[in-house]
Amino acid sequence: MARPRTFDPDEALLAARQVFWRKGYQSTSLDEITEATGLTKPSLYAAFGDKASLFLKVLDHYHDQLLARSAQILSEGANARAAIEGWLTYLVPRCSGEKGRKGCLSVNTLTDGGVDDAAVRKSIANFNARLESLIVKRLEAGRAEFSADFDPAAAARTIIALYIGMMAMAKHKPSPEQVKLVIGQIGKLLS
């Protein structure tokens, strides 16, 4: 009979995520993950599989959390413009200054070149598509705010490009003011 788990899988994924986020996939050792999670290697393997499987679970968990928070913020706001600007403003501390220096785990994974795995690429592509879909839906719901020739899908794609760019640039620790200037350009797009 298998012994019941005596740990919270979500807490273990969060602990592993911090290590992967700080060091990157390639530079993270299983010893560092076991130390961070408090799990033994056999427990880690039994719960999550090998390092690649664990990383994919960490990434998917991260994506789910980010999408849930983004959906919440995008559903708020007096109108679509305010909702988009609110969501982008929420991201400012996550992509500026020392705190934001770590950027986005998903974007870091794409840009560090350390992971060449079809499942990881698929997870990131799925996340980007789901995030873009949230933005398109919010823009379509506010269609009356925009000109007749406004294209919600093209605007959403532009916003996603801005998001990815902001997260990639986070490594350079831009000031919050610099990031807010970039976000201000979206206001022009949405006018």
Comparing 59-73, 144-158, 175-189, which segment has the lowest mean pLDDT? 175-189
* Residue 187 banded pLDDT, cuts 50, 70, 90: confident
How far apart are alpha carbons 182 and 176 in whole angstroms? 10
pLDDT tens by residue, 11-37:
999 999 999 999 988 889 999 999 999
Judge whether 169 lies within some domain. yes
Q: What is the number of other CB atoms lying within 10 angstroms of the CB of residue 99?
A: 12
pLDDT at 14: 94
pLDDT tens by residue, 112-140:
766 678 898 899 999 999 999 999 999 99
Percentage above 70 pLDDT, the chain: 96
Judge whether 9 lies within some domain. no
pTM of the model: 0.89
Q: What are phi and psi of 42, to 5 degrees?
A: -60, -40
Judge whether 165 lies within some domain. yes
Which position has the higher pLDDT, 29 or 191?
29
How far apart are alpha carbons 191 and 186 in whole angstroms? 9
Say if residues 26 and 115 touch (Cβ distance below 8 Å): yes
Judge whether 49 lies within some domain. no
Domain count, the chain: 1
Domain around 176: 62-189
How far apart are alpha carbons 152 and 145 in whole angstroms? 11
Helix axes of 9-23 and 30-37: crossing angle, nearest 10 degrees:
140
Say if residues 84 and 139 touch (Cβ distance below 8 Å): yes
How far apart are alpha carbons 95 and 115 in whole angstroms? 22
What type of residue sits at position 153? A
Judge whether 17 lies within some domain. no
Per-residue pLDDT, averaged over 81-88, amounts to 94
Judge whether 26 lies within some domain. no
* Residue 83 banded pLDDT, cuts 50, 70, 90: very high
Judge whether 32 lies within some domain. no
How far apart are alpha carbons 15 and 36 in whole angstroms? 6
Judge whether 124 lies within some domain. yes
pLDDT at 116: 72
CATH number for the domain spanning 164: value is: 1.10.357.10
